[in-house]
């Protein structure tokens, strides 16, 4: 079957869904194609730290009702090392805060909003293929409900994440890929327990990194640094709890509140950027174009910033036949992307144990941590990156 839309969007993650909502607000048509089922998209556990700009954009779109009710505003984070906790007062230092609201809840709100506008999201699509992207009528071929479709578009947005197909439509000879694979992963758990702390705790210890985050008053999210090749079956619940307790221990005997672990998995850690983020009428956004390790909580927020630029550039094209914002898309996005790449790499390097490090390396990390919490300038630098620089920075 042949179909037509203004912007064909591949992927119903934060990038693809938000782009469809931003375009709809300006009166432009899009079709979102997603390979997974709606249930899977709405239940996959990911991070949930929303920067100030992300909160404001959701508010502008009228998507803040449940977020304001169920999300929790945090005005600080804790850095813990040498058995002591140090608060980075994000709001005092920057005037901004962050919101803890899980990514899959954001996705539920985006999907419900788009469908209630009469927008189209096709779930369970297969065999997505892009063609004619250097022409002004690019095409997406795909299978849905056992039927083959051809979607003719003015533009294609590749919002299909790190494992998607869009990126490979950019000719190899024109792509530059920059990457770092870290020699550790994160073992993430969901635990049924009340929160152990009011704010997120990023902890450095001789045994490795750990992070205390939260999902709801009854459900906590925590991570411990682990071998990325490790099998989750090697980690009993008791081992995970013991490791958390050892890594988070303080001189004043801080206590972790514990309960049943209801989910556990190991995530790899990498940094990745492809340049350019655009070729012909194909624009990549979010994880399709860049990955950051989760230490800075930037992944979702970078995806939001990309599609905000893209929606503005497409609006300028449709309203005023202006192409300068589209042409500047890669450069505009990459300024923020590389800032976030640096911040995430820096947080990761400061807080993790590396397999080949020695006492010198540990002293250097501790010196950096001490400087970060003791110097107002250094703490402010962490804080302004953590709450997110302005979109037009």
Residues with a catalytic annotation lie at 74, 202, 294, 298, 386
The two most distant CA atoms of the chain are separated, in Å, by 67
Question: Could you tell me the smallest distance in angstroms from the CB atom of residue 372 to ligand PHB?
Answer: 15
Question: Measured between alpha carbons, how far is 35 from 41 in angstroms, rounded to an integer?
Answer: 10
Range in contact with ligand APR (rule: CB under 6 A) among 21-29, 30-38, 188-196, 261-269: 30-38
Identify the residue among 149, 221, 308, 352 touching ligand PHB (CB under 6 A): 221
Looking only at residues 94 through 123 of this chain, which bind ligand APR when binding is defined by CB under 6 A? 103
199 binds, among ligand APR, ligand PHB, none (CB under 5 to 8 A by kind): none
Q: What are phi and psi of 39, to 5 degrees?
A: -60, -40
Six-digit token pair at 52?
């100030």
Residue 30 makes contact with ligand APR by CB under 6 A: no
Q: What is the contact mask toward ligand APR in residues 142 to 171, using x (rule: CB under 6 A)?
A: -----------------xxx-xxx------
Q: How many CB atoms neighbour CB 327 within 10 A?
A: 12
- Is it true that the peptide bond before 288 is cis, omega within 30 degrees of 0? no
Q: Are 30 and 9 in contact (CB under 8 A)?
A: yes
Choice from 213, 220, 225, 332 touching ligand PHB (CB under 6 A): 213
- Strand, helix or coil for residue 76: coil
Going residue by residue from 7 to 46, which x/- string records binding to ligand PHB, judged by CB under 6 A? ----------------------------------------
How many CA within 13 A on the CB side of residue 63? 24
Give 191's strand partners: 220, 261
Half-sphere exposure of 372 (CA within 13 A, CB side): 27
Q: How far is CA 253 from CA 23, 207, 311, in A?
A: 52, 18, 50
Q: How many residues bind ligand PHB (CB under 6 A)?
A: 9
Residue placing its CB nearer to ligand PHB in the complex, 11 or 294: 294
Contact call for residues 72 and 369 (beta carbons, < 8 A): no
Of the two residues 142 and 343, which places its CB atom closer to ligand PHB in the complex?
Answer: 343
Partner in contact with 388, chosen from ligand PHB, ligand APR, none, beta carbon below 5 to 8 Å by kind: none
- Name the residue with tokens 């304001």: 68
Residue 182 CA to its chain's centroid (Å): 18
Q: What tokens appear for 215 in the block?
A: 């999902």
CB of 377 to ligand APR, least distance (A): 29
Draw the binding track, 295-334, toward ligand PHB (x: CB under 6 A; -: no contact).
x-x-------------------------------------
Binding partner of residue 161 among ligand APR, ligand PHB, none, CB cut-off 5 to 8 Å per kind: ligand APR
Q: Which of 222, 214, 215, 269 is nearest to 248 (CA)?
A: 222
For the chain, counts of helices (H) and of strands (E): 12, 21
Contact residue for ligand PHB among 17, 23, 47, 333 (CB under 6 A): 47
User: Which listed option, ligand APR, ligand PHB, none, makes contact with residue 16 (CB within 5 to 8 Å by class)?
Assistant: ligand APR
Q: Please report, as ranges, the residues that interact with ligand APR according to CB under 6 A.
A: 10-16, 33-36, 41, 46-47, 103, 125, 128, 159-161, 163-165, 286-288, 299-300, 303
Q: Please report, as ranges, the residues that interact with ligand PHB according to CB under 6 A.
A: 47-49, 200, 213, 221, 294-295, 297
């Amino acid at each position: 079957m042949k179909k037509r839309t203004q912007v064909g969007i591949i992927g119903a993650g934060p990038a693809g869904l938000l782009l469809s909502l931003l375009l709809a607000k300006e009166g432009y048509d899009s079709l979102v194609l997603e390979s997974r089922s709606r249930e899977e998209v709405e239940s996959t556990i990911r991070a949930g730290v929303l920067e100030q700009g992300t909160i404001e954009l959701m508010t502008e779109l009228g998507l803040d009702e449940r977020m304001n009710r169920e999300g929790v505003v945090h005005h600080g984070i804790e850095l813990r090392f040498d058995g002591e906790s140090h608060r980075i007062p994000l709001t005092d230092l920057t005037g901004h805060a962050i919101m803890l609201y899980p990514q899959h809840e954001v996705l539920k709100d985006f999907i419900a909003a788009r469908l209630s506008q009469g927008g189209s999201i096709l779930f369970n699509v297969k065999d997505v293929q892009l063609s004619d992207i250097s022409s002004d009528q690019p095409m997406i071929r795909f299978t849905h409900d056992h039927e083959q479709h051809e979607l003719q578009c003015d533009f294609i947005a590749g919002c299909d994440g790190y494992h998607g197909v869009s990126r490979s439509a950019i000719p190899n000879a024109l792509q530059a890929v920059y990457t770092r694979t870290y020699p550790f992963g994160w073992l993430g758990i969901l635990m049924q327990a009340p929160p152990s702390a009011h704010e997120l705790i990023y902890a450095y210890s001789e045994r490795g990194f750990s992070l205390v985050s939260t999902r709801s008053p009854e459900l906590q999210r925590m991570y411990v640094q682990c071998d990325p090749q490790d099998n989750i079956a090697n980690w009993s619940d008791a081992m995970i709890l013991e490791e958390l307790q050892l890594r988070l221990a303080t001189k004043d005997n801080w206590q972790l509140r514990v309960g049943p672990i209801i989910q556990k998995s190991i995530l790899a850690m990498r940094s990745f950027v492809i340049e350019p983020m655009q070729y012909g009428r194909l624009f990549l956004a979010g994880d399709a174009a860049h990955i950051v390790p989760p230490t800075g909580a930037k992944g979702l927020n970078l995806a939001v910033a990309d599609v905000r630029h893209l929606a503005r550039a497409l609006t300028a094209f449709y309203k005023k036949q202006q192409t300068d914002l589209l042409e500047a898309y890669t450069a505009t996005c990459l300024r923020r992307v590389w800032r976030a790449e640096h911040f995430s790499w820096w947080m990761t390097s400061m807080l993790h144990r590396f397999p080949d490090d020695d006492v010198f390396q540990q002293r250097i990390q501790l010196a950096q941590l001490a400087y970060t919490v003791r110097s107002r300038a250094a703490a402010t630098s962490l804080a302004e990156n953590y709450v997110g620089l302005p979109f037009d920075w």
